[in-house]
Amino acid sequence: MRDHGGVNNSVDSSRLYPRVTSFRFRRGTLTAGQQKNWETLWPTLGRDLATDPEQTPEPPIDFPALFGRIAPTVLEIGSGTGVSTAAMAAEEPDVDVLAVEVYKPGLAQLVGLIDRNDLTNIRMIRGDAMVVLTELIPPSSLTGIRVYFPDPWPKSRHHKRRLLQSGTIELMAERLVPGGVLHIATDHADYAEWIAEILATQPADGPHVVPLTRPSPISLTRPTTKFEGRAEREGRWVSEFVYTRPQPKEARAGSGGSEPARTLDSGRPEEGRQ
């Protein structure tokens, strides 16, 4: 998920725009319609991460209070323009979705999709997903985590900026309920190899995920995007990783990371990469 907005220098913006990031800046402006949606609907549907360094740390999210019900909750990291987010939420009305993004025009577009389609199961946070994962998501609270097409940071010297590292996978596993699903997709071959290596070498004595071999508690079907044709023309194939936090009785089985990733044909949403 890239950050595409400008930095407000009047506040400490490190939580919205970290100094060393897993996303890149790109400017973006709102259309008149998006600005209206933002002003009228964002206060209800979304929130910015706190930027005041003197502010008391925010408490972990109370999902039943946030969504007004008790339901399985999915965290989507890097919702981009929100097209896939809205489509999947519409197909799963009994699942709540928390979308994390830094690209304001993308969030504004998602706000519009929510409004036009009368979706009640999406909430949004604008800010760094690592801050959200670390500070706001309680352990063992998520039924699913979706990371679709994270920025590959292809140059070797930038690999440390990739969102998916061994520590991040462990953190995600800890936030999942036992049986919860981590679904990753990338169209970058080198990043796919990187992810596969991390998943295959997880320590089994801490929070970890294993390949999913039973029915998923959430949908694994991603809608295609307008970028699919471009991906096909450029010869990019999508690698998908579908893993789950083991149930307690399965925890001793190890990471099981040797199972190959599934390769599917899909496009790349270019905005909103963590």
Nearest to 262 by CA among 228, 230, 221: 221
Nearest to 17 by CA among 78, 85, 103: 103
Q: Whole-angstrom Cα distance, residue 269 to residue 4?
A: 14
| DSSP structural state of residue 248 | G
Which one from 3, 128, 151, 187 is the annotated catalytic residue? 151
Residue type at position 139: P
Place of tokens 């190890």: 254
Residues linked to residue 147 through DSSP beta bridges, in sequence order? 77, 184
128 belongs to the catalytic site: no
3-class DSSP state for residue 241?
strand
Token pair in block for residue 70: 């008790």
**Could you give the residue numbers annotated as active site?**
151
